[in-house]
Structure formats: C-alpha cells, structure tokens
Amino acid sequence: MNEYVEIVIRSVCVLAAFLVLPLVVGQTEHKVMAHMQGRLGPMEAGRFHGWAQLIADGVKFAQKEDVVPLAADKRVFRVAPALGIVSYLLALAVIPFGPDFFGANVPGGLVWLLAVSGIGTLGTLMAGWSSGNKYSLLGGMRTAAQLVSYELPLILVCASFAIAAGSLSMVGIAQAWNPWWLIWQLPGAIVFLVAATAELQRPPFDMPVADSELVMGPYTEYTGLRFALFLLAEYAGIVVMSFLLAALWLGAWAGPFPHSLGWLWMLIKGGIFAFVIIWIRVAWPRLREDQLQRVAWLGLVPIALLQLAITAVGVVVTSQ
C-alpha cells in the first residue's frame, strides 16, 4: 500500500514540475529575449510584469478552433502533438533533483531518457508528414535529417558521462560526480549543449521550423491546443535537456546540504543552461541547412569521439 502511495506522490510531483517548469522557462524567454532586444516584453497580463502572459496565451489557444486539413493523414495528424509532449514528460521522470528526490530511478535511466526524448522529435516528423502540406513536409524532412545527425553526438557524449560515472542510472551518475568533471568533461558538455539545442530545433538550429521560409514547417497546419502542445513540448524539451546536462555535468544536487537543499542547486544549475539556450537564440543567426549538417558531422561528432577517448583513458588511468 505504502509503495503505491509513494508512486502516486512521485508521479504527481513529476506532473507538477512538467506543467510548471516549461511555463517558467517560456516566461523567462519572453522577458529575457525582450530585454536583450531593448524591449520590456509582456507587461500587462497579471499586472506585475506580465507574469500571467503564458496563462493568457493558453486560454487563447484553448478557445481556437481545432482545424484538421482535408488532405491530412488525420489520425497521425491528431496524435503527433501528444507524442512530443508525452515523451518529454517520461524523460523528466528519471531526472533526479536530489539524492531521494526523483520521479523514478531506472537502472538504465540515461538510455531511457535518450530514447524517449528522441521520440519527441518523431512527433514533429509525424506532424510534417501527415499535414498534407509541402512546407510541412520539407520541415518534417529537415527534422528527420537533424535528428539523425545530432542524435549521434548527443549519444556519444552521454556515453562519455556514463563511462566516467561507471553507471547508466541518472542517480548513479550524479553520485559519482566530482568537481574534476567540470574540466574533464567540458568538451562533452559543450557538444551536449549544442546538440541538445539542435535536437530541440531551437534557433540557431531551427531550420525545420524556420518561420521566414517554411512558415513554421511541420506546425503550419496546426491550430489551437494542438499547436500549443507543440510549443509546450519545445519548452518542456528545454527543461529536460537543461536539467539533463545539469545532472550529468554539474552533479545534479551537488552543493551544500545536498539532502535538504539539493533540489535548489539542481534548479539553479538547470536554470543556467535554460538561460544559455535562450541567450544563444537571441544572439545568433539561423544556420543554413548545409551548415547545420556540417556543424554536426565535422564539428560535434569528432569532438564527441575525442571526449569519449579522453574519458576512457581517464577512467582506465584512475581505476588502476
């Protein structure tokens, strides 16, 4: 009986974090991007500095008509947004916020995380394919190309972290962390950040949705709540990737009083990466499709392989 209560409480906590954190990141993006561009951003909704802007947006999306194009592959079209959002929910469940503060401690947590977050991108591909729209199809194909090329460096550097820790469990990796990782795993962390941004199709890697040339690509035909789900999935993706990097590279709850304040350190560390992902969106221009592939195959993959070698040598040397 007690076990079931614990499962329910943990699930509710994950769900609450999943509903709150992406909105916080979204609101931060509104405000940070505005100030970086010399604007104020939302100021009206909720009176105090527009804190309720995303809630107002949500209400607006809910009121809109849910249009399914005649030429669309209707069932796939309807399922696609859910796929993205659910996959990130499942991913968030295994990210630890404290030594005992996590949704689930899966032995192969890292593998699970990479697998389900890949499915999220698949939702975008399904949306692009099923919309019955050339722009969406182009966007979907670009998503697929991006998934193929950036999943590889992402998995390679995650493997590096796993080798360094000697564990595939997220909690295990965080427990094995020590401050030397900051230097030892630095190239891996940079590759992870770049590859994660690309995986989320965030600028400067937003070729698939490029609104100025593909009019939002796979999302062109979506309206109302389904479109909102895609947007929410993007921010949930930022949350998952930022906190994943914080858990892998910065030791999750590592800091003073890890048992009582661990969640705070984790929130701060993840928040920093989320901020960086927002920052590079504002600062850098979008890459062209061929440049995007070049960055992945000629830049990230060699660095990731090098990081893997460095990690392997380090583990062998220190274990003797």
Smaller CB separation from other proteins, 204 or 237: 204
E strand or H helix that includes residue 1: none
Please pick, from the candidates 144, 264, 280, 306, the single residue that binds other proteins as defined by CB under 8 A.
280
CB of 279 to other proteins, least distance (A): 7
Neighbours of 71 (CB within 10 A): 12
- Counting residues that bind other proteins (by CB under 8 A) gives 14
Figure out which of the listed residues 15, 34, 86, 225 binds other proteins, where binding follows CB under 8 A.
34
- At closest approach, how far in Å is the CB of 45 from other proteins? 14
Residue 310 sits in the site that holds other proteins (CB under 8 A):
no
Residues forming beta bridges with residue 98, ordered by sequence position:
101
CB of 204 to other proteins, least distance (A): 9
Q: Is 45 in the site for other proteins (CB under 8 A)?
A: no
**In this structure, are residues 241 and 138 in contact, taking their beta carbons and an 8 Å threshold?**
no
Question: Candidates 70-78, 164-172, 248-256, 279-287 — which segment interacts with other proteins by CB under 8 A?
Answer: 279-287
CB 41, min distance to other proteins, A: 9
Residues 163-222 that bind other proteins (CB under 8 A): none
Q: Is the peptide bond before 107 cis (omega within 30 degrees of 0)?
A: no
Binding mask 14-33 for other proteins (x = CB under 8 A): ------------------x-
Of positions 36, 52, 119, 144, contacts other proteins by CB under 8 A = 36
Sole window of 122-130, 162-170, 238-246, 275-283 interacting with other proteins (rule: CB under 8 A): 275-283
Q: Binder to other proteins among 3, 4, 5, 37 (CB under 8 A)?
A: 37
Q: Using an 8 Å Cβ cutoff, are 113 and 94 in contact? A: yes
Asked if 256 interacts with other proteins (CB under 8 A), we say: no
Choice between 291 and 318, CB closer to other proteins: 291
Among 122, 144, 176, 282, binds other proteins (CB under 8 A): 282
C-alpha atoms less than 13 angstroms from C-alpha of 43 in its C-beta half-sphere: 5
Q: Smallest gap, in angstroms, from Cβ of residue 194 to other proteins? A: 11
What backbone phi and psi angles, to 5 degrees, belong to 256? -65, 145
Rounded (10°) CA dihedral 5, 112, 84, 262? 60
Query: Rule CB under 8 A: is residue 283 a binding residue for other proteins?
Result: yes
With vertex at residue 239, the alpha carbon angle to CA 281 and CA 304, rounded to the nearest 5 degrees, is 70
- Return all residues near 297 (Cβ < 8 A) that are at least 6 apart: 149
CA distance 304 to 160: 8
Rounded-to-integer distance, Cα 121 and Cα 126, Å: 9
Report the nearest approach of other proteins to the CB of residue 238 (Å). Answer: 18
Alpha-carbon distances of 61 from 171, 228, 230, 232, 263, rounded to whole Å: 38, 6, 12, 12, 32
Omega of the bond leading into 208 within 30 degrees of 0 (cis):
no
For residues 66-85, which are near other proteins according to CB under 8 A?
A: none
Q: Which is nearer to other proteins, 44 or 211 (CB)?
A: 44
d(CA 236, CA 200): 10
Give the interface with other proteins as residue ranges (CB under 8 A).
Answer: 32, 34-40, 43, 279-280, 282-284
